[in-house]
Chain A
Amino acid sequence: AQSVTQPDIHITVSEGASLELRCNYSYGATPYLFWYVQSPGQGLQLLLKYFSGDTLVQGIKGFEAEFKRSQSSFNLRKPSVHWSDAAEYFCAVGSNFGNEKLTFGTGTRLTIIP
């Protein structure tokens, strides 16, 4: 069965600093990988996704993520965070085998300090 681990429950970053959120997955074949962001009291918004091809994926709001098969990782990065990036971030994994649902990580809460 597939699984996702987000090792960091809570991260605090200064505004303007760079950000990296970690995501490790467990899956026997090439996974489909997603990052979602959830602002307080809101639904989940898709930031970016990886299916195949270029392992560096660009998303919305200036985010990017890199798929590293050797490390079973799909870390999310942003070069300079803004106060509006404060939110909960979820990594998710799916498969291409059909009739599969997404498996979500437990999330990382991002706090931005001035």
Chain B
Amino acid sequence: DAMVIQNPRYQVTQFGKPVTLSCSQTLNHNVMYWYQQKSSQAPKLLFHYYDKDFNNEADTPDNFQSRRPNTSFCFLDIRSPGLGDAAMYLCATSRGLAGAQITQYFGPGTRLTVL
């Protein structure tokens, strides 16, 4: 089945220690998104890639970076995690950014704990 995969499902890191979260997709979609979701809140978009074009949301902290080496993979790098970065991180994909192509499909998420 075509899907969005996130690894690891659970990640524990120390305050200030860089961490990388991984997302892969078999849908061959052009767009990949990273969301941060804190408890009982809506997902908050951090950034997205349309192919290799990176689009950062205006309020995404510089501490968060992303890489997309190819169509299938996208990484979220948190350079110096703080306690406030503990959250669920969701990866999503869509075929495009117009019309019906904007439908997003989500992975299972990575729960990040910062000690």
Bound CA span A45–B100, Å: 17
What residue in chain A is nearest B43 (Cβ atoms)? A104
Those of B71-115 within 8 Å (CB) of chain A: 88, 90, 92, 97-100, 102-109, 111
B93 to A: closest C-beta gap in Å = 11
Which one of A42, A49, A95 contacts B109 once the chains associate, using CB atoms below 8 Å? Answer: A42
Would you call the interface of chain A mostly helix, strand, loop, or mixed?
Answer: loop
Contact residue range for chain B? 20 to 34
Looking at the complex, which one of A32, A42, A106 makes contact with B102 (CB distance below 8 Å)? A32
Q: How far is the CA of A106 from the CA of B100 in the complex (A)?
A: 23
* Cβ-defined contact, A100 with B97, below 8 A: yes
Report if A114 contacts B (CB, 8 A): no
Whether A106 pairs with B106 at a CB distance below 8 angstroms is no
Q: Does B19 contact A (CB under 8 A)?
A: no
Chain B residues with CB below 8 A from A96, complex form: 98-99
Residue on B nearest A98 in the bound complex, by CB: B98
- Shortest beta-carbon distance, B64 to chain A, in Å? 16
Given contacts A43-B108, A46-B106, A104-B43, 16 further A-B contacts (CB under 8 A): A34-B104, A41-B109, A41-B111, A43-B90, A43-B106, A43-B107, A44-B106, A45-B106, A46-B103, A49-B103, A90-B42, A97-B98, A98-B99, A99-B98, A102-B102, A104-B42
Q: Which 7 A-B pairs have the closest CB atoms?
A: A43-B106, A98-B98, A104-B42, A44-B106, A43-B108, A43-B109, A94-B102
